[in-house]
Structure 1
Amino acid sequence: MNAAISFSDMEITAPINLDHLMVELDRYRRQSEWLKQVNELHARLACATDLQGMIEAFSVWLTPLVEHDLIAYRSRDRSRMHIICSCHGPDRRLAMQTAEEVFEKRDCQMDDICCEWGPFFVQQWQMSFAGDTAADHQGCLMLLRRGTCIEVEANQILRDAQEILGDSLQRALMYEDLFAQARRDILTGLDNRRVFEERIGSLLESARRQDRPITVASMDLDHFKQVNDNLGHAAGDIALQRVAKVMTEMVRNSDLLVRMGGDEFVLVLPDTALDAARLLAERLCAAVDGLDINAGNGSKLGMSIGIVQWKPAMSKDDWLQRTDEVLYQAKKTGRCRVCVEEA
């Protein structure tokens, strides 16, 4: 038998606390919104593979939640800084200069407080995590903005998001280590052939576009085989390391010094004409000779260098082939010398 029940006939035995109910509903709503934002942050960070890309993704995600002019991350043990700034013109330069000053002069604490620095308010957060190749890595996250200090609610958003960002940064650091290992010659610490192949095209194109000189030096050690044959491969390895070290100390950061394999090296010199390249090559030859590395049987390790300045009519392959030919002339005419292709 079906019975119709009217709500008016029901007796309500427990009073409903509407205020409490509304508070709970609001809490669930905010939790739901935060989970949605967290998912969005995960998605943005998943699309980035390097530190700079992750800081940029984090800044884009944070913009509607916490107003800021700049976000930066500094890796202490790697001495690198990654900055994303939304300012333009003089304001951009001032914001980036401020970030560099803060990183340089102010220690980053675990529980930092917002402080005023020039026209900006600055807050930092210490980030620590262990990695497979960088144990107990420490970094510092900075937010910089004009107008007002970071509010309590905004600070909490940043603290909650730090764990998510930290996981992604850890992944990027591990990837960075693997990427660096794949591009670095293990024995000498110089860039390897892969880096040369990746960069030579863009360096040449930049010289072409800006109408700037660029010169390449192909270098080969003299009597290196005798070092290995007479003194052993361990002595040969030490010789390569000493040569790489002395060359590294003599070139600019903008130059590309590569160990191509064995005892062959290449040095690419952007914004360098033939005369300046010749002077550097002669200094490199003298520096290697000054190492006084014994090759056995009365011989001494030396270096032969062939240098060619790129000309607009040359293709990349023609340029590099011509440099090898000039190097061969240097070795053929007596070794331990510099040979230059005259214009």
Structure 2
Amino acid sequence: MGIRDELSGKWHFVCSHHGSEQSHLIDTAKAIVERNRQRGGFKIETIKTSMGVIKLIVLRKRELFSADELGIIERGVKILTNTLERVFYFEILYRQSRMDALTGLANRRVFEEKIEELMTSSSRYGFPISLAILDLDNFKEINDSLGHDEGDRILKKVAVVFQDMIRASDLVARLGGDEFAILLPNTGLEEAKILVERIINAVNKLDIETPFGKKLGVSVGVSQWDGKLGKEAWIKLTDDLLYAAKRAGRNCYFTL
């Protein structure tokens, strides 16, 4: 089933299969919707709702659908319309509850869940995890002098930089205000430091100036989990390193 979010214009797909079969079917469904291909091996039924459009895509691997089968699908969709609408609403609300509304990044809730999962997995399988907590330098001057609209525009621009820098397995989240966190599974401290340096340079290259002639930068605290600290203690340790970077002159990172 494909669900189009009217706010972002993006399609999201769900499928009842699992594993590689699920990936294959979702990729096929995406291609059908994006290219609007016409062949007999699939059937699309469109349901319009107040929040967007649902496309139910029925796929068949080999044989074409008969006229009777197509009729059954159409009648079935009419019966299931209300149920599918509820699924659509649930998907949108679920995504919204886990996403920062301004930047589109993961929110604090997702960060808290993910860090616990990674710590559990790291304890079991022995892979390293690193954490970076980032705070924008001189952002308050922009917000106070130019207004929240300009501040929001800059936050979105910086969020794109952060997202572009990480791997698919990493997580970047907005914790609130101009503070962000990046979780790095299978990453030791030295690798994390290389990434953090690249992020600091990328923010500098945005060349954003405050009304008082200062440049927007980013200060970062970065640490590798030692396998012993609890979640809150590890986050606090990394946050303390962030403020050490602030005290060291800003636009830099600090680690143990």
Which residue is equivalent to 1:83?
Answer: 15
Q: Determine whether 1:132 maps to 2:50.
A: yes
Deviation at 1:249, TM superposition (A): 1.7
Identity %: 36
1:82 is aligned with what amino acid?
A: V
TM-score (norm 1): 0.64
What is the match of residue 323 of structure 1? 238
The C-alpha deviation readout for 1:106-157, integer Å capped at 9, x for no partner, is: 8465xx64xxxxxxxxx422121212221xx2524224367x6656655543
Quote the residue 1:207 is aligned against. 122
Shift of 1:333: 0.9
Q: Which runs of 5+ in 1 are unaligned?
A: 1-72, 87-91, 114-122
Choose which of 185, 197, 204 in structure 2 pairs with 1:289. 204
Q: Return the letter of the residue paired with 2:89.
A: M
TM superposition shift of 1:258? 1.1
Aligned equivalents of 2:69 and 2:85: distance in 1? 24
1:298 to 210, 213, 221: 213
The residue aligned with 1:252 is 167
- The 5 Å alignment of 1:207-246 reads 207-246=122-161
Change (3 A) 1:294 1:234: same
Provide the secondary structure at the position in 2 that maps to 1:321. helix
Amino acid at match of 1:84: S
Give distance in 1, aligned partners of 2:64 and 2:102: 50
**Cα distance in 2, alignment partners of residues 103 and 322 from structure 1:** 43
User: Is 1:191 matched with 2:106?
Assistant: yes
Take 1:95 and 1:187, find their aligned partners in 2: how far apart are those partners?
31
Aligned CA RMSD, in angstroms, stands at 2.8
Contact 1:127 1:166 in 2 (8 A): no
Q: What does residue 261 of structure 1 align with? A: 176
CA distance in 1, matches of 2:20, 2:147: 55
Instruction: Name the counterpart of 2:185.
Output: 270
Higher RCO, 1 vs 2 (CA within 8 Å, ≥6 residues apart): 2
Q: How many residues align?
A: 250
Q: 1:104 maps to what in 2?
A: 31
Secondary structure in 2 matching 1:280: helix
Deviates more, 1:210-219 or 1:190-199: 190-199
**d(CA) in 1 for partners of 2:237, 2:22:** 48
CA distance in 1, matches of 2:213, 2:89: 48
Q: Deviations over 1:285-341 (max 9, x none)?
A: 111111121123221111100111112112111211110111111111111101122
Structure 2 length-normalised TM: 0.84
Q: Cα–Cα, structure 1 residues 98 and 175, in superposed 2: closer, same or farther, change >3 Å? A: closer
Amino acid at match of 1:304: S
